[in-house]
Structure 1
Amino acid sequence: MKKNHKTKWLFPFALASFVLLSACGGGVKPASEAAPAAGGQAAQTESASKDPIRVGAIFSMTGPNSPLGVPEKQAVELLVKELNGAGGVDGHPIEVIFEDDKSDNTEAVKAIKKLVSKEKVVAVLGSSGSGPSLGMAEFASAEKLPLISMAAADQITNPVRAGIYKTPHTDAHGTKRIFSYLKEKGITKIATLNDSNPYGSGWTQQLQKYAPEYGITIVAEEKYGTKDPSMSSQLTKIKGTDAQALIVAGTNPGPATIVKEAKQLNLSIPIISSHGSANSKFLELVGDAGNGVLMVAGKLLVPDQVDANDPQSAIIKKFVDGYQAAYKSEPDGFAGYGYDGLNILVEGLKQAGGDASKLGEVLEKVNYVGVTGEFKFSAEDHNGLTEDSMIMVEVKDGKFQILK
């Protein structure tokens, strides 16, 4: 029997358009413990007096995808505390129940089933990886449960399914942005070395699909396993081709290992990484070998380099300031995916008119300027982003720099 998610709340309500994240959270605390905001103690008392809106969040807090899941969880915790400090949603505190999928597809599905049957959540955020997200999306779609994924694979939202959304740019967006750059540079022959998991396989499909459109020929296609300690044999094969550039698609530590081994093998062609490794962990893992590596990414990767007139500039600055105050480090794109996901869900709650059963439908009407990009959802597009909000960066002296 399918679950009924028709819990209702009364609206309208007032929320700050974008919140400044300013306190560290070790978990979601009741509104009475949150920092006072515009409504002060009165707002907190009202928030605590009403039933909470229960939301599930399944992130990869352990396992290979933990560099993605940990910052996503931290960003959500901070945003929940700020929202509840401001009175919650029309006085209803937001309660997030976190689950760790351990970077495993089966664990992710078990977690979402638990959140629905035991915790009675009205929507779910997650997961961090494409494989876990695809399994969760299948279940959520059948249950008519709204799901906002933090994973990149295009097939999460393509084809469109009712109630299933995602916040990262897709592998199709990243492919188009990289190919536009290569076309500008006159590069026509490439090699690919991608993880064999759903994320890397999705990139392989998009690279194959769009290469002819940009006048590009793939002269070598290689794969590696997520836990493989070395990719030197694949790199040796690529070195023997006439490829003018190498595109790598995976999440850390794989891409960093590839870059270091490519340098050891004196592979002299440019290496371009997908946004799956666009974070400080990549810089830490790759060390000095990373200099000169190119990467496609969102603007949050280089917050101090975003033009002040950019529509995303203000929200990026607020988010970065709050995250730095809490964790003494800059947030990466993955933290931004979690932050955008919860903000989008809140916008959906506003438009749902108090009826949780309408969430999946009303999210299609949400327009939201986030740290990842400008989201414009529609019945035909449940990702709402384009490649135009992606940038190309280069690693220079251990830092990411926008390519002008």
Structure 2
Amino acid sequence: MKRVAVTLLLALMPFVAGINLSEAAGGTVRIGGLFAVTGPASFLGEPEKKTLEMLVAEANAKGGINGMKIEAVIYDTQGDATKAVQLATKLIKNDKVSVIVGPSTTGESMAVIPVAEKERVPLISCAAGIKITEPVKKWVFKTPANDHVAAEKILNHAAKANIRNIALLTVTDGFGSSGREQIKALAAQKGFKIVADEVYGPKDTDMTAQLTKIRGIRPDAIICWGTNPGPAVVTKNVKQLGIRIPLYMSHGVASKKYIELAGADAAEGVMLPAGKLAIFDVLPKTDPQVKLLKEYNASYKKNYGVEASTFGGYAYDAFLLIANAVRKTGGSTPEQIRNGIEQAQRLVSVSGIFSMTPRDHNGLDLSAFEMVRVTKGDWQPIK
């Protein structure tokens, strides 16, 4: 099991929106990281880990503020829920962390929640499933917008396009099951008819059987809910079968990796809700997130030679919430960090603008997403 441990002095970083931690002089903040760096979910965990490491390097270069030191201990869960639980326990019992960032997936996060709640250590999940934070759990937060927000974005767009009969194709993991549940509930409220409800396994490599069945039902559109590689396979199969109806994807594929895996030709025209990082270069200058998004992308590209991804942004936001919490409370204990995270208001981040409350431990709304369409191998906002 690979372990990466880094120690840093927290400084005012140019891309952390002006946070000043001078009030939090002295002491140590020890952060644990649980990311799926390898394995099927590595497209999530690798940029999360790299983002946190980048923040460490940037902060070290600034020399720190008033002696407040941050130590980050990062473990690779390989996307395995059992390992995630073991490593969460290790972070708390052995490494004595004050807060945990991650895990990368909904299934892992749900498995780790009882550990965080029992040990009274705040957990900031990098996964999207609504059940992570609803119902509210005292010690659990998350940075991706809830999947019901993404589902509502899709259905709002579909309604404007006069789409009424929808076929679902969802993966049978925690993320897919949660998304399926949210879409069906919202569809019923908004007057849509679910005419097909198909599923596929996380390791399936061909979905032509499900799509052939869907084609025979003749829906107005297909909504596929999952994370790669499955959605990329679905996109290829849709193209191969000559299905020409609108294809919506979830925010779980909102990175260039999806277009790369599916192929630009097959992905052309696919629509999905994405965080603003995917289209920051065409956002109006007045958008409150633009400056931070540009600086994050530039820093990530300088360090790793590729553009920053929405998924890495989830770890960025967790770090931002922790830094803001330390500033607010002036301390680094689990209780102080938890309280500070819950007090975050109008905090501009990669994923949106966080406003946490005791009743909302996600703090994002519909403004966190923009509907985008794949056009010539890139994301373009849908006007």
TM-score range, shorter-chain basis?
over 0.9
Counterpart for residue 304 of structure 1: 281
1:195 aligns with 2:154: no
Query: Partners in 1 of 2:5 and 2:75 — Cα distance?
Result: 13
The answer to whether 1:333 aligns with 2:331 is no
Deviation of 1:384 (Å): 0.3
Question: For residue 384 of structure 1, what is the aligned residue in structure 2?
Answer: 363
Is contact 1:189-1:219 (8 Å) kept?
A: yes
Q: What is the match of residue 105 of structure 1? A: 81
CA shift, 1:51, in A, is 5.6
* C-alpha distance in 1 between matches for 2:318 and 2:103: 11
TM-score computed with the length of structure 1 as normaliser? 0.87
Gaps of 5+ in 2: 15-21
Deviation at 1:295, TM superposition (A): 1.3
Q: Give matches, 1:356-395, under 5 Å.
A: 356=333, 357-367=335-345, 368-395=347-374
Superposition RMSD in Å? 2.1
Deviation string, structure 1 residues 47-67 (Cα, Å, up to 9, x no partner): xx9664211000000111100
Within 5 A, what are the aligned runs for 1:304-323?
Answer: 304-323=281-300
Aligned equivalents of 1:252, 1:329: Cα separation in 2: 19
Distance 2:287 2:369 in 1: 13
Match of 2:114 among 127, 132, 138: 138
What is the CA deviation profile of residues 349-393 of structure 1, one whole-angstrom value per residue up to 9, with x for unaligned ones?
A: 122232512222231111210011000000110000001221111
> 3-state SS of the aligned residue for 1:240?
helix
Structure 1 gaps of 5+ residues are 1-25, 39-45
Return the alpha-carbon distance in structure 2 between the equivalents of residues 239 and 90 of structure 1. Answer: 63
The residue type equivalent to 2:342 in the other structure is E
- The alpha-carbon distance between structure 1 residues 366 and 90, as it changes in their structure 2 partners (threshold 3 A), is farther
Question: Is 1:234 matched up with 2:210?
Answer: yes
> 2:268 aligned to 270, 288, 291, which one?
291
Relative to the length of structure 2, the TM-score reads: 0.92
Q: Deviations over 1:203-252 (max 9, x none)?
A: 01001111122221111001111001111111111111131010011111
Amino acid at match of 2:310: G
Distance (whole Å) between structure 2 residues aligned to residue 278 and residue 135 of structure 1: 25
Q: AA paired with 1:253? A: P
Q: Match of 2:81, as an amino acid?
A: N
Matched, 1:342 2:319: yes
**Shift of residue 280, structure 1, vs aligned partner:** 1.3
The answer on 1:53 being equivalent to 2:32 is no
SS of 2:121's partner is coil
What does 1:90-101 correspond to in 2, within 5 Å? 90-101=66-77
Tell me by how many angstroms 1:31 deviates.
4.3
Question: Percent of aligned pairs with the same residue?
Answer: 38
- Offset at residue 27 of structure 1 (A): 5.9
Report SS of the residue matched to 1:252: coil
Distance 1:80 1:238, change over 3 A: same
CA positional deviation for 1:36? 11
Q: Distance in 2 between matches of 1:88 and 1:53?
A: 13
Q: CA separation in 1, counterparts of 2:117 and 2:138?
A: 7
Aligned partner letter, 1:402:
P
Question: In the superposition, relative to structure 1, how do residues 30 and 382 fare at CA in structure 2: closer, same or farther (>3 Å)?
Answer: closer
